[in-house]
Amino acid sequence: MKKEIRITGFGGQGIILSGYIVGKAAAVFDGKQATMVQAYGPEARGSACSSQVIIDDNPILYPYHRDLNILAALSQEGYDKFHTLVRKDGIILFDEDLVEFDAPADVAVFKGVPATRIAEDLGRVMVANIAMLGFLVAQTEVTSADAMKQAILSAVPKGTGDLNMNAFERGFQHQPAEIVVGAGAGV
Amino acid sequence: MKKEIRITGFGGQGIILSGYIVGKAAAVFDGKQATMVQAYGPEARGSACSSQVIIDDNPILYPYHRDLNILAALSQEGYDKFHTLVRKDGIILFDEDLVEFDAPADVAVFKGVPATRIAEDLGRVMVANIAMLGFLVAQTEVTSADAMKQAILSAVPKGTGDLNMNAFERGFQHQPAEIVVGAGAGV
Amino acid sequence: MKLWRTPLDAEKVRVPHGVVSVIIERCKGCSFCVEYCPRDVLIISRNFNKKGYHYPEVVSEGLCVDCNLCEDICPEFAIYSDPVENTPAPATKENT
Amino acid sequence: MKLWRTPLDAEKVRVPHGVVSVIIERCKGCSFCVEYCPRDVLIISRNFNKKGYHYPEVVSEGLCVDCNLCEDICPEFAIYSDPVENTPAPATKENT
Amino acid sequence: MSEQAVLTGEHFMTGDEAAAEGGLAAGCRFFGGYPITPATEVTEVMAKRLPGVGGVFIQMEDEMASMNTLLGAAWGGMKSMTSTSGPGFSLMMENLGLGIITETPCVLVNVQRGGPSTGLPTLVGQQDMMQAKWGSHGDYEIIALAPSSPQEAFDFTIHAFNFSEQYRLPVLLMMDESVGHMFEKVVIPKAEDIKLVPRRITKDKPADYLPFKPDDDLVPPMIEFGEGYRVHITGLTHDEKGYPVINAEAQQPLVRRLCEKITKNADKIYMYDERELDDAEVVVISYGITARIAQQVVNECRAEGKKVGHLRLITCWPFPEPIVRKLADRIKGFVVPEINLGQMSLEVERVAGRGIPTICVPNAGGEVHNPEDIHAVIREVLK
Amino acid sequence: MSEQAVLTGEHFMTGDEAAAEGGLAAGCRFFGGYPITPATEVTEVMAKRLPGVGGVFIQMEDEMASMNTLLGAAWGGMKSMTSTSGPGFSLMMENLGLGIITETPCVLVNVQRGGPSTGLPTLVGQQDMMQAKWGSHGDYEIIALAPSSPQEAFDFTIHAFNFSEQYRLPVLLMMDESVGHMFEKVVIPKAEDIKLVPRRITKDKPADYLPFKPDDDLVPPMIEFGEGYRVHITGLTHDEKGYPVINAEAQQPLVRRLCEKITKNADKIYMYDERELDDAEVVVISYGITARIAQQVVNECRAEGKKVGHLRLITCWPFPEPIVRKLADRIKGFVVPEINLGQMSLEVERVAGRGIPTICVPNAGGEVHNPEDIHAVIREVLK
Amino acid sequence: MSTAPAKAAPVERKELHHPKDTMLREDRLPHIWCPTCGIGTAVSCFVEALRETNIPEEKVAVVSGIGCTGRVAGYVNLDSFHTTHGRAIPFATGLALAKPDMKVVVFSGDGDLVAIGGNHIINAARRNMNITVICINNFIYGMTGGQCASTTPQIAKTSTTPTGNTDYPFNVPYLMDACGATYIARWTVLHIRRLKKAMGEALNKKGFSFIEVIAPCATLYARRNRLGTGFDLMKFYHDNSEIQHGADTKMVDIGFQEKIICGKFVDIDKPTFLERYRGETNGGGK
Amino acid sequence: MSTAPAKAAPVERKELHHPKDTMLREDRLPHIWCPTCGIGTAVSCFVEALRETNIPEEKVAVVSGIGCTGRVAGYVNLDSFHTTHGRAIPFATGLALAKPDMKVVVFSGDGDLVAIGGNHIINAARRNMNITVICINNFIYGMTGGQCASTTPQIAKTSTTPTGNTDYPFNVPYLMDACGATYIARWTVLHIRRLKKAMGEALNKKGFSFIEVIAPCATLYARRNRLGTGFDLMKFYHDNSEIQHGADTKMVDIGFQEKIICGKFVDIDKPTFLERYRGETNGGGK
Ligand SMILES: Cc1ncc(C[n+]2csc(CCOP(=O)(O)OP(=O)(O)O)c2C)c(N)n1
Ligand SMILES: Cc1ncc(C[n+]2csc(CCOP(=O)(O)OP(=O)(O)O)c2C)c(N)n1
Ligand code: SF4
Ligand code: SF4
Ligand code: SF4
Ligand code: SF4
Ligand code: SF4
Ligand code: SF4
Ligand SMILES: [Mg+2]
Ligand SMILES: [Mg+2]
């Protein structure tokens, strides 16, 4: 089944890397098809950035999102920009310390994770994205946990494997404090 | 009536200028149609050069020679290269001190002029070409004498008008020492 | 338009003073202004602006000498000072 | 092929002499060889080559010291000298 | 300013010289150039003549530079021009694109020689005709004129300047070595008899002016630097204000307008010469020096009673589709001699369709066609 | 030489990275580059990888320079490559011609962005397709491949090197920003499973060797500098010995051969992908990223029972005329979506003729087609 | 002439207007440059310097090439042109010749001016073209993501020299000197007062004036070389720059994180291209 | 080892073979250069110098651009490549990197190398690319008919400066020096011995070596300036050149028919591009 995933945040949070890891996990370690594209442009300098992943069992033709299944938002700006694109039966994951919202609109499920806080706990704020990936796998099964771990290990700098695995685990284990069922929810 | 004239010699003899003068005389001062093209190329550096003039009452389309009426040769190399291109009823003018030939082949009329000697007499070897133009007009009436003179005066450096007119006159007056009637001559 | 700043000779006998303004939403939190202000007028706020940058705040208002250094060094055109006279005096022929 | 010219030390004690050859049809009559020959070996011929240039001729054959200057300065590769020994002597160990 | 800009009178000059005089007569006062055979004479005439008429000639370090000086001078209010040949033309391609996107009027003369690469520097070619249309990256439309004589080199340079001012773009004079180096009579009219299109200067005040807001004909009025308009002009995709906007929403209308200002006005731009087309069964299509040879062949054919007509392209770009399409519906075939291995003939083929043959008479360059070669193809088609 | 040249295995990488890896796998050991978005990643991968495999990376001062280093390195016996995008591609045009006339094998990757001029540096375009064919002055033929995925970027770069060695010319990989910047799975085979065409080194002794005397397939065998052959290679028109000869007699056979070595071998070069053409009434022709969108539309059409087929161009140049012509004789029309205002569609139109419609689905760049726009045109043609 | 109101309390404003806004395209701010990038500071100094000259603003044009610095043309509220990569100087040449009454300023990056544009800058200097060139040297290609420039010091890491640059960089003032530039100065963006002064001098000069402005590229140069941010580079400039007016340009090359010699190196007078072309000078004007 | 036969009388020959013919493409002689053109003499010195080095001829390549001088590549019997105008140096760069065992010589004109090719020569010098550059400076564009070059002295007339050049020319050795060239010399073609020696030194040098060869262009430069022929220019060189080895390159500019300072100006050693790239040097190799 086809899944469209967008990960969003600001420059420096490792957003592109996260997209790359999700895509690689699916394509290389889960043996599925996957594409990942990112927003480019001088506009990207220091401001919002995002990566679009598509995972499918069949070859993917159109590599851009038309109908978002999953949004993982690590910044307010990213959330604001993309949350309306999520399908009614989609899911929004967010860093609960960085994203605030009023009416959760038309989307089925909202789940928060303190990804940045987890990372800070681990002493390296830069692994917040990996915590989010753990959470993502746990909540959506978009890839297998194994594939995701392998992908992470293949992508992060040498010597940071344990740290990243910890972050992943913490995100994976996190029981979402907040599950908001939106207007059009079917869950 | 259409006339094709080729003037040939070596670099420094003012061959291109001569072609220009003939063309200009016909086009501007005789009110006819005329084209002039020249051989270009690094090959032209210091070696044989030539200019092709066509004069006609009607617009000229093809600006290159197909059937030469007149060849004016100021060098052996030029003569050797082009004399076979002249029509059977054509005419070849040549500097009698610079050009030698054995069998005059198929061409009607050969007429010599000591153009370079005339110019040396006048103290400026560079007006040999103008002496040749005088001879050309007298022998072929390819343009009117008047037009040719005007064209010369418009083309030569200021202050050399008289000298050039002298050279022209000497060439014009020259009675060819040698008229060779070739094999296919109709004259 | 050429007179947006007090002409130097108008200040002849007085110590110039300035008041600093920050266009908060332009600031990208580089701290240049804070670091290079000769009078330590500024500190970086604990607050974020909308883009998530910490902008500068005035801590020692009276100390600003309107030197414009913060203004010139700011890469974002986000801060500037205006001259004020804290010892107001009638404008006389001598000192204008 | 590297030995087309007498090695310098082979000439140690003798005054070298040369014989000049002109490839007439290559010459463009620049006179460089004539002008710069240190021994005035050459003059410009009154004859033309096929292209109409006056080429050099040897006037003082015996004077050529095989210095190769004409050869090197000629822009046309039209002149060169070959070494000759006009006081032939048997090649001994000392002077080879 | 002591000399005459318009050399009214009769002259005997080359196509190169005539193009330079045409430029001067059109009001060109800036020439940024780099010498190259066989276009050098354009440069040399300009070097000699411009100071005398209050203009500026500058020889730049290369063709990228000379192309850009034209754009600078044009925004400084001058009519500007350059000349080059194949290798230099290739080097100008990037910044031709800058002229296109910034809608800068100027004129480029390409005196075509044989290619590819250094090829035949002194000999004729017509091999840059497709490059004229497609040589710069990105989508755009162009105007390119091909003269067949020195007189036309003069006349069409003036047209080129007029088109460049009317439609605000670099216009190409696609000469060939034969025309460029051939002397022929050139009649230069009186200055007052030369119709010039003035620069389309805005009537708006600086505060109201939007540099890329088009008039009804899709062409925006221009300004000159230094007059207080404080415009920003960029080679990036931009909005009507001229500000860079990097997205498809800005790109689509901009690039479409740049193309449509030519395609939608094409009927006003097309120039061609029709000879004996009315009853023609075969039509020769040609341009530049080749048109003279072709016309001679057509004359010979007519003399033999063959129904052969001649369509001479003057604007090769935009390619005059309507007339070709109209002819295609009623003739037996097109014969397209050109000094290349088939360039404009591809356009003819495309427009004519497969109903009738379009036969190129190819010639890889170095000399003009042998008339007989053209004749032979005509005979073939007439059969 | 400590690293692996062929990264056998499964990867998740961009088209840019894959093109670089494809080059390395094809044996490329020289890269002369100049950074430009969106092709920079090719350069960066090469900068990182080449020293480890015994190769040389050099960042040159501009694109004219980088293009020429390829030629120098190729004559030095190396397989060489560069990458660029529109503005740099334009600057390479002059010396692409030098590569053509000197028959120098090398590979140029153009990752296309939106133009003209600086345009949209970070966003997609397919607007340099005609420039690929016509961007340099003079007559020539070219080989240009368009990948639709990172995997193809890898594979086709190898093809490009093979073609360049087989036919001795610079070969173009006409990528687009979408493919270049998109991550996808790339499977790199074992080194021994990659078929490489070796350089066609002459078997002649130096004394017998004529550098431009072709084999039967019109391609002359090559040599490497420094091996005692003492060849002279020039961008001027030349004879079989390689010596400059400036006349039509030398030009005609040389330029014709340069073209014919491609046109006469075209059947061996054409690459395309046919999908459901057998019963198709409408055929979509596309390439690059657009082919993926088009295929999706075709799938949707088929699902709706519409007889729509898809011809995906892999070699855009030489343009596969025979298949298009064959299709034209039996279908209702062609639909050609491309991210430009109509480039390859002109070729389709020319080859297809006027009997059936060829309709371009234009897109001036910045983003890929909305599938619905393609769908709408198909519906129109099917009516 | 009026002075500010003599009030002790800060002026209350609804909307803040930066005094430099009239010189800027305010509607395009904030600009695209990264936090702690030095380009903005150079622009700040430039508009200030321009204001202090008496050149009417409508008689000033700014021409840029492509790059982060190339975006300067788009932010100054003057006639401005954003050319292609490397071609700002020839555009400026055409403009300066068409408009001798204008002051044409080229404001661009080191890659743009000294790498791809190298041939133009050396020739413009040679001709003594009447333009002012402000070159932001951040030792890197910023816009395209941090590749090596012809100014990148040896050892420095860039995306195309991942293990450290092995090339010798240009000593740009020396290069300009060898081409005959009539005004050559170098300052870092930390030297705001002196930079402003130099810019004023250059603007007031007839002929080819050149200012090399050393500025931090935070995102690429600093980060990749683990030098912190632009803030840290400013500190580095503070500690490591040395002012040597009139220094022999031969001696002012810059090594990786080594001393930066600043100052006004050359300030001479000779006729410009146009003065010589128009014969407004005696003799050949040598 | 054998010496020539010890005969007093001139050797009788049927066909004359010039000793340099093996180094030349004899089948292409006579060459296209004009009478009294200096290019041929420079080639003569070059083949002689090459012979005197011990570099195997098959390991030498000559690369030229376009111009009269550009034709040199077509006359030497070595692997040779005639590139496009201005691009000899990047071609040579690619070749030299692919073939580190070869000596790559660029032999081209002043217009080709220092006008259109300006950006390449300064960068090749900066990189200390392992190539030898021989630049025939005839102060003019010969091939295209005598236009102004970036080296044309002020006052000199050319077809694009019909009333005399008003531009300042490059001082080419100074320019090369500012870019870091490791060997810089200038000789006229009259200095055949010294030129030959310099060429030999350059050929034996690793790194970027540069020789400016002042040579007459008879047909265009001499004639248009009423200086006679190349013969007269040779005389002029004789009377007006001054040898100053080690001269400050800053001081060696050339005015119209003014003193020509010749000599070896620079001869230093530093690692080449490839040595640094391959890490065959200590540290950054500065
Ligand atoms: C012809 C061409 N080649 C390459 C590029 C890509 N490009 C854009 S900016 C740039 C380098 C910019 O560096 P610099 O001039 O130093 O400016 P900075 O971004 O550092 O301020 C390059 C290579 C281009 N736009 N055009
Ligand atoms: C791109 C390009 N521009 C221009 C030319 C024309 N061109 C050929 S040689 C030359 C100048 C040659 O001058 P120089 O290098 O000094 O050589 P010389 O003939 O004086 O030896 C020029 C401008 C060309 N071939 N290619
Ligand atoms: S104006 Fe000067 S003193 Fe006042 S805050 Fe700014 S830097 Fe500090
Ligand atoms: S200098 Fe400007 S951008 Fe930096 S912190 Fe101060 S106000 Fe903000
Ligand atoms: S070798 Fe020397 S001495 Fe002999 S002729 Fe030549 S220049 Fe004169
Ligand atoms: S130097 Fe050579 S070309 Fe000149 S005159 Fe002597 S032999 Fe002839
Ligand atoms: S990338 Fe570097 S130069 Fe560009 S804006 Fe950011 S800090 Fe400045
Ligand atoms: S034109 Fe000048 S440089 Fe060229 S061959 Fe003749 S004399 Fe030599
Ligand atoms: Mg930079
Ligand atoms: Mg020269």
pLDDT in tens, G245-264: 999 999 999 999 999 999 99
Give the per-residue pLDDT at B181: 59
Which residue has its alpha carbon closest to ligand 2 atom 4?
E36
Minimal Cβ distance to G98: which of E77, E230, E232: E77
E166, E193, E220: which is the final residue of a domain?
E193
Give the per-residue pLDDT at A93: 95
Give the per-residue pLDDT at B40: 61
Structural domain range at position F39: 9-193
F178, F193, F208: which is the final residue of a domain?
F193
Give the per-residue pLDDT at E112: 98
CB within 8 Å: H33 and B45? yes
Using 50 as the pLDDT threshold, list the residues of chain E that sit under it.
none
- What's the mean pLDDT in F196-216? 98
Least Cα separation, residue A11 to chain C (angstroms)? 11
Provide the residue-wise pLDDT of chain G in tens; the chain has 286 residues.
333 333 333 444 457 899 999 999 999 999 999 999 999 999 999 999 999 999 999 999 999 999 999 999 999 999 999 999 999 999 999 999 999 999 999 999 999 999 999 999 999 999 999 999 999 999 999 999 999 999 999 999 999 999 999 999 999 999 999 999 999 999 999 999 999 999 999 999 999 999 999 999 999 999 999 999 999 999 999 999 999 999 999 999 999 999 999 999 999 999 999 999 999 875 444 4
Mutate which of F243, F246, F249, F251 to disrupt the B interface (most B C-beta within 10 Å)?
A: F246
CATH of the domain at E372: 3.40.50.920
- Three-state DSSP at C57 gives strand
Which residue has its alpha carbon closest to ligand 7 atom 6?
G34
Maximum separation of any 2 CA atoms in chain B, in Å: 45
Is residue G143 within 8 A of residue G172, CB to CB? The reply is: no
- What's the mean pLDDT in A85-94? 92
Q: What percent of chain D has pLDDT over 70?
A: 72
Residue B128's alpha-carbon distances to A172, B81, B124, B156, B169, in angstroms, are 101, 20, 8, 13, 12
Cβ of residue C69 lying under 6 Å from some atom of ligand 3: yes
| Cα radius of gyration rounded to whole Å, chain H | 19
Say yes or no: E246 contacts chain A, CB-CB below 8 A. Answer: yes
Say yes or no: C52 contacts chain A, CB-CB below 8 A. Answer: yes
Q: Is the pLDDT of residue C4 over 50?
A: no
Q: How far is the CA of C79 from the centre of ligand 3 (A)?
A: 10
A177 pLDDT tier (thresholds 50, 70, 90): low
Give the per-residue pLDDT at E117: 98
CATH of the domain at F170: 3.40.50.970
CB within 8 Å: B20 and E183? yes
Task: Note whether F288 and F184 are same-domain residues.
Answer: no
- Counting CB pairs under 8 A, whether chains B and G reach 3 or more, is no
Ligand 8 surroundings by CB, under 6 angstroms:
B 45; H 33-34, 37, 39, 68, 138, 142, 217-220
Best residue among B43, B45, B47 to mutate for probing ligand 8's pocket (most ligand atoms within 8 Å of CB) is B45
In order of their start, the domains of chain D are: 22-83 (3.30.70.20)
Minimal Cβ distance to G160: which of F35, F36, F118: F35
- Three-state DSSP at G5 gives coil
- What's the mean pLDDT in F90-111? 98
Alpha helices (H) along H138-178: 172-178
Q: Is the pLDDT of residue H286 over 60?
A: no
Question: G78: which chain E residues are within 8 Å (Cβ-Cβ)?
Answer: 230
Give the per-residue pLDDT at D81: 95
Task: Note whether F17 and F157 are same-domain residues.
Answer: yes
E193, E211, E245: which is the final residue of a domain?
E193
Q: What percent of chain F has pLDDT over 70?
A: 100
Q: State both tokens at F220.
A: 């002359």
Residue A43: closest CA among chain E residues belongs to which residue?
A: E246
Please tell me the total count of domains within chain E. Answer: 2
pLDDT digits (tens, 9 = 90+) for F312-327: 999 999 999 999 999 9
Cβ of residue D58 lying under 6 Å from some atom of ligand 5: no
Give the per-residue pLDDT at G276: 97
Say yes or no: G196 contacts chain C, CB-CB below 8 A. Answer: yes
* CB pairs < 8 Å spanning E and G: 140
Q: State both tokens at G45.
A: 């100094």
pLDDT digits (tens, 9 = 90+) for F109-137: 999 999 999 999 999 999 999 999 999 99
Cβ of residue D27 lying under 6 Å from some atom of ligand 6: yes
Which residue has its alpha carbon closest to ligand 7 atom 2?
G217
Which atom of ligand 6 sits closest to the CA of residue D28?
A: 3
Mutate which of C51, C53, C76 to disrupt the A interface (most A C-beta within 10 Å)?
A: C51
State how far the Cα of B164 lies from the Cα of B151, in Å rounded to an integer. 11
CB within 8 Å: H35 and B46? yes
DSSP E104: -
Q: Is the pLDDT of residue H3 over 70?
A: no
Q: How far is the CA of G140 from the centre of ligand 1 (A)?
A: 10
Q: How far is the CA of F62 from the centre of ligand 1 (A)?
A: 10
Give the per-residue pLDDT at C47: 87
Q: Is the pLDDT of residue A187 over 50?
A: no
- Three-state DSSP at G69 gives helix
pTM > 0.80: yes
CB within 8 Å: E181 and B62? no
Which residue has its alpha carbon closest to ligand 1 atom 11?
G141
Cβ of residue G85 lying under 6 Å from some atom of ligand 1: yes
* CB pairs < 8 Å spanning A and G: 12
State how far the Cα of F115 lies from the Cα of E107, in Å rounded to an integer. 21
Count of residues in chain H: 286
What's the ipTM? Answer: 0.95
Which atom of ligand 3 sits closest to the CA of residue C67?
A: 2
Is residue F287 in some structural domain? yes
Is residue E255 in some structural domain? no
Minimal Cβ distance to B40: which of E11, E181, E299: E181
Is residue E207 in some structural domain? no
Q: State both tokens at E36.
A: 């190259």
Q: How far is the CA of H142 from the centre of ligand 2 (A)?
A: 7
- Three-state DSSP at H178 gives helix
Task: Note whether E26 and E151 are same-domain residues.
Answer: yes
Residue B181's alpha-carbon distances to B90, B116, E88, in angstroms, are 11, 24, 52
What is the pLDDT of chain B when averaged over all its residues?
88
Question: C25: which chain A residues are within 8 Å (Cβ-Cβ)?
Answer: none
Q: Which residues 6+ apart lie within 8 Å of H165 measured at CB? A: H148, H152, H153, H154, H155, H156, H157, H158
Give the per-residue pLDDT at E46: 98
Least Cα separation, residue H67 to chain D (angstroms)? 17
Q: Long-range contacts of range D91-95, CB-CB < 8 Å, 24 or more positions apart?
A: D91/H3, D95/D10, D95/D12, D95/D13, D95/D14
H14 pLDDT tier (thresholds 50, 70, 90): low
Using 50 as the pLDDT threshold, list the residues of chain B that sit under it.
42-44, 183-187
Query: Strand pairing partners for B5?
Result: B53, B70
DSSP symbols for H41-59: HHHHHHHHHHHHS---GGG
Q: What is the CATH number of domain G35-278?
A: 3.40.50.970
Task: Note whether F57 and F187 are same-domain residues.
Answer: yes
Question: E74: which chain G residues are within 8 Å (Cβ-Cβ)?
Answer: 94, 98
Ligand 7 surroundings by CB, under 6 angstroms:
A 45; G 33-34, 37, 39, 68, 138, 142, 217-220
- Three-state DSSP at H282 gives coil
Contacting subunits of A (3+ beta carbon pairs below 8 A)? C, E, F, G
Is residue E44 in some structural domain? yes
Contacting subunits of G (3+ beta carbon pairs below 8 A)? A, C, E, F, H
Which atom of ligand 7 sits closest to the CA of residue G136?
A: 3
- What's the mean pLDDT in H21-44? 96
- What's the mean pLDDT in H62-75? 98
In order of their start, the domains of chain A are: 3-180 (3.40.920.10)
Label the pairing between strands E315-317 and E143-145: antiparallel
State how far the Cα of G203 lies from the Cα of G53, in Å rounded to an integer. 8
Q: Chain E residues within 8 A (CB-CB) of chain G? A: 30, 32, 51, 56, 58, 60-62, 64-78, 80, 94-95, 97-98, 102, 225-236, 243-244
* CB pairs < 8 Å spanning B and D: 4
